[in-house]
Amino acid sequence: MSTKKGQIKLGAFLMNTGHHVAAWRHPNAWAEHGLEFAHYKHLAQTAEQAKFDMVFLADGVAVRRNHDRASLSRSGQIVHFEPLTLLSALAAATEHIGLVATASTTYNEPYHIARKFASLDYLSAGRAGWNVVTSASEAEAHNFNRETHMEHGLRYERAQEFLQVVKGLWDSWDDDAFVRDKASGLYFEPDKLHVLNHKGKHFSVKGPLNVARPPQGYPVIVQAGASEDGQEFAAQTAEVIFTAQQTLQEAQAFYAAVKGRLARYGRTPDQLKIMPGVFPVVGRTEQEAKEKYDELQNLIHPSVGLALLSGNLGGFDLSSYPLDGPLPDLPETNLNKSRQKLVTDLARRENLTIRQLYQAIAGARGHWTIWGTPQQIADRLEEWFVNDAADGFNIMPPYLPAGLHDFVELVLPILRERGLFRTEYEGRTLRENLGLVRPANQFSARSEERASA
């Protein structure tokens, strides 16, 4: 069965030892820190053999969890490769799979970002994608000369101008600017160079870029913002959205809301692929899957769980309360009130102990967790796909590499049998495989653009 929507798009979201907060402690997880290239090479090649659209890497420019040192010392996600360098190395070790790196518009400069992603697009012959984020943590501010994080609205305003500059720099050269005529000595046609001369509120960038126009025109633009600002920004510029959705209904509502915003930017629904994160725990039987999941949950060290809870409860310290007792009544705080209410309501509604509560929120970091047989997991993915909750999924294996193998070997064959997933790559670039058009150069037609460089 294949639908009018085509087939499911798949990302392999790779993260050190895996996505579960205690993944590194699992017997089948690679416990080395996230700085083993052989590990990532194996994962990327596995995903490529399985015909995933892309490898996806998250990022932050600080140590991720700013817990107290005792609980921090139990986290497996602290040190890792910088994504652009890692993906560049993976470009040399793969041939077809897309390579998507996260990079912040708040703590970078547009010239660097335009250049590095253009360079990655050349290294990979058209397989680069950029997950545009505005950074969420104060810890990042402290590594970049700031006392406090930039305010949310201002971050999005900067992001918008940032993206405009980056696209302008990618359009510095016409696609056919470089003629390289040895006989006449002409390397490029002067009219096909476009100097940006951008002067805006946040950036003043002259250009041109010292990289030719990327093979894909623009590397694929990915976003993950869920806020009102984030959704609007995505509707305007994103080609892929990575999102956290817990239920079919929520996902459908998000899908309809974001796709509904596209028309006002002259865009059609197929120009934006919505790919929720999925945290699949695959067992050969339902019982085996449940046991696998419980095994992981029980590996969450109480100090990690309590630090996570504290972060969700306005900083309240629960360490003097019994782990297997109920959540006590908490004082009101002004820190992240809505999050505090959400977590407290969950505990009350499901009558959870403190341990059960941190297990409930810790595992997949807010992403859609499904455990079951390969058949059951394929059913759920199909359900979301055919009912307009998703165009594809960003697969977040609980632990690596075994969690990726499970999905590839057990779930994918079922999706293929149903005609829901490819057997071969359709195109040569990430853009082609995702079914996205190659954007034209915004300056190409302008013959008046002949100012001196």
213 and 224 Cβ atoms separated by less than 8 Å: no
H or E element in which residue 394 lies: strand 392-395
Residue among 4, 182, 201, 349 that touches a second copy (CB under 8 A):
182
- Reading the block at residue 433, the tokens are 């495989």
Residue 257 tokens, joined = 């809301």
In the range 366-425, which residues lie near a second copy by CB under 8 A?
Answer: none
Calculate Rg over the CA atoms of the chain: 23
User: Torsion-angle region of residue 336: left (phi > 0), alpha (psi -120 to 50) or beta?
Assistant: left
Phi, psi of 370 (to 5 degrees): -130, 125
- Binding segment toward a second copy, per CB under 8 A, in 119-127, 290-298, 312-320, 388-396: 119-127
Q: Which of 2, 3, 31, 264 binds a second copy (CB under 8 A)?
A: 31
* Start-end of H helices in 124-263: 138-142, 152-170, 228-237, 248-261
Residue 102 marked in a binding site: yes
- The dihedral formed by the CA atoms of 119, 124, 126 and 129, expressed in degrees to the nearest 10: -70
Name which position in 50, 58, 132, 212 contacts a second copy (CB under 8 A): 212
Buried b / exposed e along 292-301 (16+ C-beta atoms within 10 A): bbebbbebbb
Q: Site for a second copy (CB under 8 A): which residue of 45, 150, 164, 178? A: 178
Beta strands 392-395 and 273-282 are: parallel
Name which of 185 and 331 has its Cβ closer to a second copy. 185
Q: Which is nearer to a second copy, 118 or 347 (CB)?
A: 118
Q: Does 294 bind a second copy (CB under 8 A)?
A: no
Among 46, 88, 135, 369, binds a second copy (CB under 8 A): 88
Using CB under 8 A, pick the residue from 6, 28, 42, 123 that binds a second copy: 123
Q: Are 220 and 100 in contact (CB under 8 A)?
A: yes
121 is an annotated ligand-binding site residue:
no
Beta bridge partner(s), residue 29: 401
Question: What is the residue type of 94?
Answer: T
Q: How many Å separate Cα 34 from the centre of its chain?
A: 17
Taking the complex as a whole, the smallest distance from the CB of residue 379 to a second copy amounts, in Å, to 34
Quick one: tokens of 142? Answer: 């402290």
**Least distance CB 70 / a second copy (angstroms):** 6
- Nearest approach in angstroms of CB 56 to a second copy is 17
Terminal-residue alpha carbon distance, the chain: 55
**Of 24, 52, 218, 358, the one binding a second copy by CB under 8 A:** 24
Select from 11, 126, 168, 207 the one that contacts a second copy (CB under 8 A). 207
Binding mask 328-367 for a second copy (x = CB under 8 A): ----------------------------------------
Per-residue contact string for residues 129-168; x = within reach of a second copy by CB under 8 A: ----------x--xxxxx----------------------
Residues numbered 56 to 75 that lie near a second copy (CB under 8 A) are: 60-64, 66-70, 72-75
Check the annotation: does 3 bind a ligand. Answer: no
Q: At its nearest, how many Å lie between a second copy and the CB of residue 447?
A: 14
How far apart are CB 72 and a second copy at their closest, in Å? 6
The rounded distance, in Å, linking the Cα atoms of 103 and 106 is 9
Angle between helices 228-237 and 248-261 (to 10 degrees): 60
Binding-site residues for FMN sit at 59, 102, 152, 156, 227
Binding-site residues sit at 59, 102, 152, 156, 227
